[in-house]
């Protein structure tokens, strides 16, 4: 069951989202809240968390900041479960409305699924038109919903492992976390455009986040990045990896992550953001020298200081 709450009106469009997922701890929703709070800079329009108790999924989304959408009682009672996926949103495709808040929680032939997406699918409009012509009804205007319709397609459902086949249909940037009742799946597009990292808590529970600063917030350690073209499955038996595509010959990392968007303390694309910005300042001094006492990274200069 999905609960929604609307706490704000219009927000200007931005360009990134933050993901967090974890499998194993009984307080999964509370930990996910902390992981999202640490990534609040990645999305301030809406927030959501979906949880699994091993049999069903339950979720809550709302407009506004993480602290406005959730409260301790809700996390403890309404969102009880041992696995969770969370999302903070800036809109790219789809307007800033409650129906577009994520994770998208849907029911299809194989059961419930919750999907959290950071990226932009360039073929979503074409796919949506094709599905609508065949009678599919969409409940949102976000490109993320087309992924659920791909999952639910009978020709895909009958495959032994549908997810890799579904991902091969997507074009563009996507870092995704899927929550099913019995597992969590994290994947990244073959170009590695958006960041996605794997971590492990002090108790040994695997977690996934857009930025490593989320791991710092929950006392987890960064293990590695989810590789471009990789699917990482996390369940009660541990962690498994498989591929849906070969990594692209040349990476296409989003330059705004290091330049502008990510937390200076995070490690993105193999390098700490603060260090990357410092090196950019040095290169700037080489290429465009001026009489200056100090070069300041913007924004979040106070964090680096």
Residues noted as catalytic: 17
How far apart CA 257 and CA 270 sit, in angstroms, is 12
Distances (CA, A) of 198 to 63, 129, 205, 236, 267: 27, 35, 11, 16, 12
**Angle subtended by helix axes 145-152 and 124-133, to nearest 10:** 50
How far apart CA 156 and CA 238 sit, in angstroms, is 26
- Calculate ∠ Cα 290-255-231, nearest 5°: 155
Q: Which of 196, 201, 113, 198 is nearest to 149 (CA)?
A: 113
Strands 206-209 and 17-23: antiparallel
How far apart CA 83 and CA 253 sit, in angstroms, is 29
Residue 230: strand, helix, or coil: strand
Strand order in the sheet with 230-235: 104-108, 111-121, 172-180, 183-188, 230-235, 238-243
Strands 183-188 and 230-235: antiparallel
Q: Examine residue 153 and say whether the peptide bond preceding it is cis (omega within 30 degrees of 0).
A: no
The answer for residues whose C-beta is within 8 angstroms of residue 7's C-beta and 6 or more apart is 62, 63, 64, 68, 69
Q: Are 36 and 47 in contact (CB under 8 A)?
A: yes
């Amino acid at each position: 069951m999905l609960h929604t709450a609307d706490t704000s009106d219009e927000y200007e469009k931005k360009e990134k989202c933050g993901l967090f997922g974890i499998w194993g701890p009984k307080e999964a929703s509370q930990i996910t809240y902390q992981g999202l709070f640490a990534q609040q800079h990645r999305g301030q329009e809406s927030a959501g968390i979906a949880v699994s108790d091993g049999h069903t999924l339950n979720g809550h989304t709302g407009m506004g900041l993480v602290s406005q959408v959730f409260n301790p009682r809700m996390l403890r009672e309404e969102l009880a479960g041992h696995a969770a996926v969370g999302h903070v949103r800036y809109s790219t495709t789809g307007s800033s409305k409650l129906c577009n808040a994520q994770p998208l929680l849907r029911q299809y032939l194989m059961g419930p699924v919750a999907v959290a997406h950071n990226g932009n699918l360039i073929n979503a409009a074409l796919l949506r038109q094709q599905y609508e012509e065949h009678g599919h009804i969409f409940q949102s205007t976000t490109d993320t919903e087309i992924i659920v319709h791909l999952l639910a397609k009978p020709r895909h459902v009958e495959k032994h492992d549908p997810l890799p086949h579904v991902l091969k249909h997507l074009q563009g940037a996507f870092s995704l976390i899927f929550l099913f009742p019995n597992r969590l799946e994290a994947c990244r597009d073959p170009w590695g455009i958006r960041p996605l990292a794997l971590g492990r808590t002090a108790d040994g529970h695997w977690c996934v986040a857009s930025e490593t600063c989320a791991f710092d917030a929950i006392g987890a350690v960064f293990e590695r990045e989810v590789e471009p073209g990789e699917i990482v499955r996390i369940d009660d038996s541990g962690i498994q990896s498989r591929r849906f595509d070969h990594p692209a010959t040349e990476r296409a990392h989003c330059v705004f992550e290091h330049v502008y968007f990510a937390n200076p303390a995070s490690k993105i694309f193999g390098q700490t953001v603060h260090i990357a910005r410092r090196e950019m300042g040095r290169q700037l001094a080489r290429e465009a020298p001026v009489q200056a006492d100090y070069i300041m990274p913007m924004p979040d200069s106070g964090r680096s200081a």
